[in-house]
Amino acid sequence: MVTQPNNPLHGIKLEQIVTELETHYGWEYLGHTINIRCFTDNPSVKSSLKFLRRTPWARTKVENLYLKMIKETKG
């Protein structure tokens, strides 16, 4: 396996990202910040994963929010 030292998301699964964001911010904040139905209408990790795996632009927004959260909690 090749390491990717410049990729902060390397080795982190999408499920872990969604779970940590939900724990830290909650579904209401996620739905307000990233306006997608899987966060606003009967949200769950399972429905979010299904949508995010098929929708690259939404996944990018979620990954960027995760990176922001990590930066804020470390600093």
> What CATH code is carried by the domain that includes residue 39?
1.10.720.30
Q: Is residue 9 part of a domain?
A: no
Q: Quote the pTM value.
A: 0.89
In whole angstroms, give the CA distance from residue 55 to residue 23.
22
DSSP per-residue codes, 36-59: -HHHHSS--HHHHHHHHHH-HHHH
Q: Is residue 68 part of a domain?
A: yes
What total number of domains does the chain contain?
Answer: 1
Predicted confidence at residue 6, as pLDDT, reads: 80
Q: Is residue 2 part of a domain?
A: no
Q: Is residue 70 part of a domain?
A: yes
For residue 38, the enclosing domain spans 14-74
Q: What are the tens digits of pLDDT across the range 24-60?
A: 999 999 999 999 999 999 999 999 999 999 999 999 9
